[in-house]
Chain A
Amino acid sequence: MSKIHCLLAIMVLCIILVPVTAYLLGGWYAYWGHALLAIIFGVLAVFIKTRYY
């Protein structure tokens, strides 16, 4: 699997982890955890765009 596929897989994982963290953690941890997952997703999206396209 190429590096770009790995990065895309992490982005998909970020999406999957959103409801999972809500179910398992709840409360503030889930609330700000979602924001953190979204930021990781955003950083990877921009990294892929600037590095590969």
Chain B
Amino acid sequence: MAPPIPETTPETVAGVIAAIAAFLTISILLGFFVRKKAKSFEEWLVGRGDIGPLVTGFALVASYLSGWAIFGNAGLGYAYGWSGSWLIGTTSVMGMTLCLVIGYRMRRYVALGARTVPEMLRVRFESRMVQALAGLAMIILLVVYSVGQYKAMATVWTITTNTRFEGSLLATAILVLVYLIVGGYTGTQWVSCFQGILLTIVGWTLGITALFWAGGPAKIAETIGMQTFTYPGGQPTQIPLNDYTLPLPPPEGLAFPSVDYVGVTAAVFMFLFMATGFPHNIARFLGTRKITKREYWVMLLILIVGGLTPLWIGVVGFAARTVWNDTLMTAEYAPMYGDSAAVYASISAGGVPLTSLFAASVFAASVATLAGMVMIMATNVTRDLIHNAYPKASPKRLLGLTKLMLIPFIAIPLWWTFTSPPPILSEFMAGSAVAQAGIFFFVVGVSMHWKGATKWGAIATIIYGLTLTLLHPKAYGKLVGLYHWGYWALLLMFGSALIYFLVSLSTKPLPEEKLEKLFPKREG
């Protein structure tokens, strides 16, 4: 007989709160220590360009593993079986290594005055308009991404502390505020490095524990092979979970990425481009020192170990499905549904210690990421839009405005999650990921390596990418007959590529003497 879905005990509540408090304390102490050593705010942001491969590698792992990877992946495995694998990101290592070999060149722009990704674009294209547009695009896409982070942390809080989901959302917002006020914002590579190590250890441990808890790999494969898909809310279907595609009925079903091999192909390319396309990922190279060939291999090893963590979280979802069948998809578990699988599995398989560590990891992945994104969005407004338009604006006023802007950027995704929480958070976040992959892989990643890129190519790509984002099958795509996620994603990513290259080739790049500064002959 299957073990019952566990109840929360006072020990669990105490363990979770203690683990989160410990994580917060370590992050704050690390942040304080690094800030004390830094001579200026800018030095605190990007260091002294002396950060080595270990710290950069784990910091990159931390920024890549958001609430989606460390938490939502279990929901995907639980709800969709093998077909959830495409959004779990079984090929994450591909994208992360591309980010490593492409993103390293970011450090060159620090010497030229850039401290953020939009500023790097201003330097690359000598264009304030590109900086402003990139800042605007980041705000729009990060708001969507933040909704998923809210759901991840609120779900953990709801289950482990027996709080109502709405109350947990408020608690998450308060935690984000506290995190920002006490200075735990993960701008520093050292804090991110600590988080990357924590997420990797806990992800692997939970995945391996869950694998054995559910009876081993053969039992999981056999059980999933016999089950069928259940919609969030509990409506059963006859669609089996034993395949890598899930042919949900059209037209609504076409919005699911793994509905067929077109969607699957798009998901593979999304993972290939998105690690480089995420501005918060590629920014990790801003403080990196010169890396030797041997150190490149060290970083690759870190990315492989860290990049397999999402797969282990997916395993947790498969294990939970094996043990509890589709129980968590029923209305009783609304609005968390399959996303609650990881928490219940951690309680059942690992007891209080593993649940507490897992909660701290989700805190690290979602609340810290959320805090980081809120900060990025606020500085996008002040640094990339206002300061860009009015360069003489006083720094004191800009700083005050940045602090003020934190409130709307905490409140907007909070309200969104409050009024319409996505049933499966990773599926929702994939929409934003496609857009970030399609726009920024080319505009940022390729532009650092291709002299022919022009500001008009970048501007056209950003506008095209944002327009296509609105045409997501679950947004306005239906109005133009775009129901299929795969076609939409391919159209966004490869359409962005086409526009980027065509417009760049038909417009004039920067003069050669200016490009020489950006493309020196030897890798610095």
* Alpha-carbon distance between A42 and B60 when the two chains are bound, in angstroms: 15
What is the distance, in angstroms, from B223's C-beta to the closest C-beta of chain A?
12
What is the distance, in angstroms, from A50's C-beta to the closest C-beta of chain B?
4
Residue from A28, A38, A46, A48 with most neighbouring chain B CB atoms (10 Å): A38
* Alpha-carbon distance between A35 and B95 when the two chains are bound, in angstroms: 12
Whether the pair B296, A49 counts as a contact (CB closer than 8 A) is: yes
Number of interface residues of B (CB under 8 A): 34
Cβ < 8 Å to B, chain A residues 8-47: 14-15, 18-19, 22-23, 26-28, 30-32, 34-35, 37-39, 41-43, 45-46
Knowing A27-B221, A34-B90, the reply to whether A19 touches B308 (Cβ < 8 A) is no
* Alpha-carbon distance between A18 and B268 when the two chains are bound, in angstroms: 8
Residue from A27, A28, A43 with most neighbouring chain B CB atoms (10 Å): A27
Whether the pair A45, B244 counts as a contact (CB closer than 8 A) is: no
Whether the pair B82, A26 counts as a contact (CB closer than 8 A) is: yes
Knowing A15-B268, A23-B261, A50-B293, the reply to whether A41 touches B93 (Cβ < 8 A) is yes
* Alpha-carbon distance between A46 and B299 when the two chains are bound, in angstroms: 10
Contacting residue for B268 out of A19, A28, A46, A53, CB 8 A? A19
Cβ < 8 Å to A, chain B residues 89-120: 90-94, 96-98, 100-101
* Alpha-carbon distance between A53 and B486 when the two chains are bound, in angstroms: 34
The answer to the question of B379 belonging to the interface, with a C-beta cut-off of 8 Å to chain A, is no
Residue from A31, A39, A53 with most neighbouring chain B CB atoms (10 Å): A31
Contacting residue for B304 out of A15, A26, A42, A50, CB 8 A? A42
Residue from B91, B261, B293, B304 with most neighbouring chain A CB atoms (10 Å): B91
Knowing A31-B82, A37-B91, the reply to whether A50 touches B97 (Cβ < 8 A) is no
Q: List, in ascending order, chain A residues with CB within 8 A of B272's CB.
A: 15
Q: List, in ascending order, chain B residues with CB within 8 A of A48's CB.
A: 101
Whether the pair B297, A46 counts as a contact (CB closer than 8 A) is: yes
The answer to the question of B243 belonging to the interface, with a C-beta cut-off of 8 Å to chain A, is yes
Whether the pair A35, B243 counts as a contact (CB closer than 8 A) is: no
Number of interface residues of A (CB under 8 A): 26
Contacting residue for A14 out of B94, B101, B303, CB 8 A? B94
Knowing A19-B265, A26-B242, A53-B523, the reply to whether A46 touches B93 (Cβ < 8 A) is no
* Alpha-carbon distance between A39 and B191 when the two chains are bound, in angstroms: 27
* Alpha-carbon distance between A21 and B308 when the two chains are bound, in angstroms: 18
Residue of B nearest to A33 (CB): B90
Q: List, in ascending order, chain B residues with CB within 8 A of A53's CB.
A: 523
What is the distance, in angstroms, from A7's C-beta to the closest C-beta of chain B?
13
Q: List, in ascending order, chain A residues with CB within 8 A of B85's CB.
A: 22, 30-31, 34
Q: List, in ascending order, chain A residues with CB within 8 A of B82's CB.
A: 22, 26-27, 30-31
Residue from B94, B300, B307 with most neighbouring chain A CB atoms (10 Å): B94
What is the distance, in angstroms, from A18's C-beta to the closest C-beta of chain B?
5
Q: List, in ascending order, chain B residues with CB within 8 A of A18's CB.
A: 90-91, 268
- Chain A at the B interface: mostly helix, strand, loop or mixed? helix
Q: List, in ascending order, chain A residues with CB within 8 A of B311's CB.
A: 31-32, 35
Q: List, in ascending order, chain A residues with CB within 8 A of B10's CB.
A: none
The answer to the question of B264 belonging to the interface, with a C-beta cut-off of 8 Å to chain A, is yes
Whether the pair B304, A39 counts as a contact (CB closer than 8 A) is: yes
Whether the pair B98, A45 counts as a contact (CB closer than 8 A) is: yes
* Alpha-carbon distance between A37 and B118 when the two chains are bound, in angstroms: 33
Whether the pair A15, B296 counts as a contact (CB closer than 8 A) is: no
Residue of B nearest to A20 (CB): B261
Q: List, in ascending order, chain A residues with CB within 8 A of B243's CB.
A: 26
Whether the pair A50, B296 counts as a contact (CB closer than 8 A) is: yes
Q: List, in ascending order, chain A residues with CB within 8 A of B268's CB.
A: 15, 18-19
* Alpha-carbon distance between A35 and B94 when the two chains are bound, in angstroms: 9
Residue from B82, B97, B265, B311 with most neighbouring chain A CB atoms (10 Å): B97
* Alpha-carbon distance between A7 and B307 when the two chains are bound, in angstroms: 22
Given A22-B82, A23-B261, A31-B311, 16 extra CB contacts under 8 A: A15-B272, A19-B244, A28-B221, A30-B82, A35-B93, A35-B308, A38-B91, A38-B307, A39-B93, A41-B91, A41-B97, A45-B98, A45-B101, A46-B101, A49-B101, A50-B297
B residues engaging A (CB < 8 A)?
A: 82, 85, 90-94, 96-98, 100-101, 217, 221, 225, 242-244, 261, 264-265, 268, 272, 293, 296-297, 300, 303-304, 307-308, 311, 314, 523
Q: Can you list 16 contacts pairing A with B, beta carbon distance less than 8 Å?
A: A19-B244, A19-B268, A22-B82, A22-B244, A22-B264, A26-B242, A31-B314, A34-B85, A34-B91, A35-B91, A38-B90, A38-B307, A42-B94, A42-B97, A45-B100, A45-B101
